[in-house]
Amino acid sequence: MLIYQYLLILVCLICCWAERVVVDWNIGYLEVNRDGHFTRKAIGVNGKLPVPPVYITSGDTLILNVVNSLDQPTTVHAHGIFQKGTNHMDGAGMVTQCGIPPGTNFTYEYTVEQAGTYWLHGHFNHQNSEGLRTPFIVYDTDELPMQYDEDVVVSLEDWYPVMVADRMKEVLDPTKPFPPPPTYPYGLINGINGNDTQVIVFEPGKKYRFRVLNMGSTEWFKFTLPGHKLHVIEADGVYCEPQEVDGLSLGPGQRYSAVVEAKQSAEFNYVYNATLFANFVPNLPGLNPRYYTGLIQYREGAPIKQVDARDDSEIVWAQDIKMQAFDRQPLLAGVSRTVSTIAGSQKFSDNVTRAILHKYPYMTPPIVPTLFSAMSMGALASDSEIYGPQTEAQVIGLDEVIEIVMTNDTPIDHSMHLHGHNFQITEYGPASSNNNSSIPIQRCGGYPMRRDTFVVPALHYIRVRFLANNPGVWLFHCHMDIHFALGLAMTFVEAPEVLQKTQSVPEQLKKMCVAQGLKAEGNGAGNQGMDLTGLPAPPH
């Protein structure tokens, strides 16, 4: 009896603390000059860009009411949120739902038990690249690796002068050279031209948690705060033992939190330094890299402290392989399956070059979202063939330990994201084709760091592990939008038999597919059994 009473009190407490946070997003086009150079068509929310960040506390339920005022379908993904039990809220277009048709609405509703620095972004037709992206900060109620006084969100974006759809037209034109001539985006900090961003006010002696996000679609950012040390405590929503560094380097999709201790006196102001760069476009002063700075203001009008600029090679950068997970989760033992992937590209018979992670480019999706096939195909859901070759579905069992070995034989770094999970980062090394690596083999320590987006450097490999404890259908893809658009993606179909028993797909989501001439059940082609007639064929 007493136990029940305690339980009741506990449940009550949890109910009282947890809130329902309602956010209304009317997604539509606008003309906007974000970088101080170009006015262009973009996608914003409620007539504005940047999209205001969303703040909740761990345990809260987010209710995101989306009205689609575009002339194309849309979806919204919460990057890094596991969606345990709510796979159909993951927002991955044609993987976990059909797009929300133009002129209609849909409500995303899910409870977030994680904490940390995430982001919300469009996940249909690469709409995140058009501006549909914003930080999603989940405050914690648990013990942190380091206490701090205030949060400072620094969201970083690359911003191109043209829409991704127009860039894709060029990339997919077989008469044009591949790769296309380089383009040089501008950098945005907290949604506006990087050099125009508001000053960051510091009070002497206080501790600030910088939450730095790369919400970019293609390029990398480096972030330093010369004259101050950064104590990294979080990568992609996972806490680590504090790691003292000078700088953060982030691929598209990655996030870090670093606690910065303010100086004891307000004698000087300082500048922070954000650098937008890519190792796959030519180094041209002023174009790549592009430098952005902003003021750390201790006192209005105080002189700026001159800190000697240091060469990048002398700077200590945050490294996930060297971090230790704060919760001391040991290396997952007993790998039951190794998935070997090779990032590459191939010219097909139509003379179009596409990207491949395994065998096929995932460009044209199936007619049925893969989740809906997994839910409706009974025992056949365990047969990877039914989903269509483009999905490269890997069917994995409940509680299997999966190791992904990804080899990057390209001269381009890739930033890879898995939905529904994070990975233990266990090893980096040179690809076997690479006899001139600057990075030796590096292995994790006893409590490997976990994160949801890793960077596999050019001509190197990475090994990561994850535990299949989240039945569902989860996309694994490059977060550089052109690569993703060219097919650098595959899917994990996790414990479909458990999924069928424990989750269901709302009728409204099924109707959305039918309303667009797509299908809500059957194999990838919307048929029964192994008949894939009508499935968009992968290129040959």
Ligand X SMILES: *[C@@H]1O[C@H](CO)[C@@H](O)[C@H](O)[C@H]1NC(C)=O
Q: Could you tell me the smallest distance in angstroms from the CB atom of residue 430 to ligand X?
A: 11
Instruction: Single out the residue of 397, 256, 270, 227 nearest to residue 317, CA to CA.
Output: 256
Q: Which is nearer to ligand X, 114 or 293 (CB)?
A: 293
The Cα 168–Cα 346 span in angstroms is 16
Only one residue has tokens 């034109």, namely 173
User: 141 is written with which tokens?
Assistant: 């109620």
Say which residue the tokens 């407490």 belong to: 13
Closest CB to ligand X among 58 and 105?
105
* Interacting residues of 11 by C-beta distance below 8 A, sequence separation 6+: none
Assess 254 for contact with ligand X (CB under 6 A).
no
Q: Which is nearer to ligand X, 119 or 277 (CB)?
A: 277
Q: 46, 61, 86, 105: which one contacts ligand X (CB under 6 A)?
A: 105
Residues in CB range of 503: below 8 A, 6 or more apart:
85, 86, 87, 88, 375, 471, 472
Of these, 214, 218, 224, 341, which contacts ligand X (CB under 6 A)? 224
Rounded least distance, CB 172 to ligand X, Å = 12
How far apart are CB 304 and ligand X at their closest, in Å? 11
- Using DSSP's 3-state secondary structure scheme, residue 420 falls into coil
Check if the beta carbon of residue 61 is closer than 8 Å to that of residue 18.
Answer: yes
What is d(CA 126, CA 17) in angstroms, rounded to the nearest whole number?
36
Residue 350 contacts ligand X per CB under 6 A: yes
Based on CB atoms, which residue is closest to ligand X, 328 or 540?
540
Choice from 67, 233, 402, 406 touching ligand X (CB under 6 A): 67
Piece of 218-226, 409-417, 451-459, 492-500 that binds ligand X (CB under 6 A)? 218-226
- Minimal distance, residue 351 CB to ligand X, in Å: 4
Smaller CB separation from ligand X, 67 or 245: 67
Taking CB under 6 A as the criterion, the residue among 47, 52, 103, 174 binding ligand X is 174
How many positions of this chain bind ligand X (CB under 6 A)?
A: 20
Among 77, 209, 222, 255, binds ligand X (CB under 6 A): 222
> With binding defined as CB under 6 A, does residue 268 bind ligand X?
no
Q: Where are the beta strands (DSSP E) in 82-227?
A: 105-111, 116-122, 133-139, 150-159, 186-189, 192-193, 200-201, 207-214, 220-224
Sketch the per residue contact string, 448 through 487, with ligand X: x for CB under 6 A, - otherwise. ----------------------------------------
Closest CA to 402 of 418, 386, 389: 418
The residues that bridge with 421 in the sheet, in sequence order, are none
What's the CA gap between 90 and 213, in Å, rounded?
A: 20
Tokens of 104: 């209609």
Site for ligand X in 399-438 (CB under 6 A): 435-436, 438
195 near ligand X (CB under 6 A)? yes
According to the binding rule CB under 6 A, does residue 351 interact with ligand X? yes
Quick one: which of 203, 92, 9, 41 has its CA closest to 489?
Answer: 92
Please, which residue, 119 or 184, has the CB nearer to ligand X? 184
Q: Is the Cβ of residue 279 or residue 351 nearer to ligand X in the bound state? A: 351
Task: Output 244 or 350, the one with its CB closest to ligand X.
Answer: 350
Indicate the residue among 220 and 474 with the shorter CB distance to ligand X: 220
Distance spanning both ends of the chain, measured CA to CA: 67
- Answer whether 114's CB lies under 8 Å from 48's CB: no
Burial class (CB in 10 A: 0-12, 13-18, 19+), 342: middle
Nearer to ligand X, 104 or 111 (CB): 104
Kindly state whether residue 108 participates in binding ligand X, applying the rule CB under 6 A: no
Site for ligand X (CB under 6 A): which residue of 93, 101, 116, 226? 226
Closer of 50 and 457 to ligand X (Cβ): 457
Residue 499-538 contact track with ligand X, rule CB under 6 A, x = bound: ----------------------------------------
Sole binder of ligand X in the list 83, 190, 275, 407 (CB under 6 A): 275
Q: Which stretch binds ligand X (CB under 6 A): 55-63, 203-211, 219-227, 321-329?
A: 219-227
Report the nearest approach of ligand X to the CB of residue 74 (Å).
Answer: 14
Looking at beta carbons, which pairs linking 138-142 to residues 24 or more positions away fall under 8 Å?
138/56, 138/57, 138/58, 138/60, 138/112, 138/114, 138/237, 139/55, 139/56, 139/57, 139/58, 139/115, 140/57, 140/58, 140/115, 140/116, 141/17, 141/57, 141/58, 141/59, 141/115, 142/58, 142/115
Cβ-based nearer residue to ligand X, 244 or 531: 244
* φ/ψ of residue 156, rounded to 5: -115, 135
Burial 301-315 (b: 16+ CB within 10 A, else e): eeeeeeeeeeeeeee
* Binding range to ligand X, per CB under 6 A, among 75-83, 125-133, 220-228, 477-485: 220-228
**What b/e sequence results for 191-213 when a residue is b if at least 16 CB atoms lie within 10 Å of its CB, and e otherwise?**
bbbbbebeebbbeeeeebbbbbb
Q: Is residue 353 involved in binding ligand X (CB under 6 A)? A: no
293/384 with CB nearer ligand X: 293
For 530, the token pair is 């192994």
Short-list 512, 231, 236, 496, CA closest to 381: 496
- Within residues 284-323, the interface with ligand X by CB under 6 A covers 290-293, 309, 312
Residues forming the site for ligand X (CB under 6 A)? 67, 105, 174, 195, 222, 224, 226, 273, 275, 290-293, 309, 312, 350-351, 435-436, 438
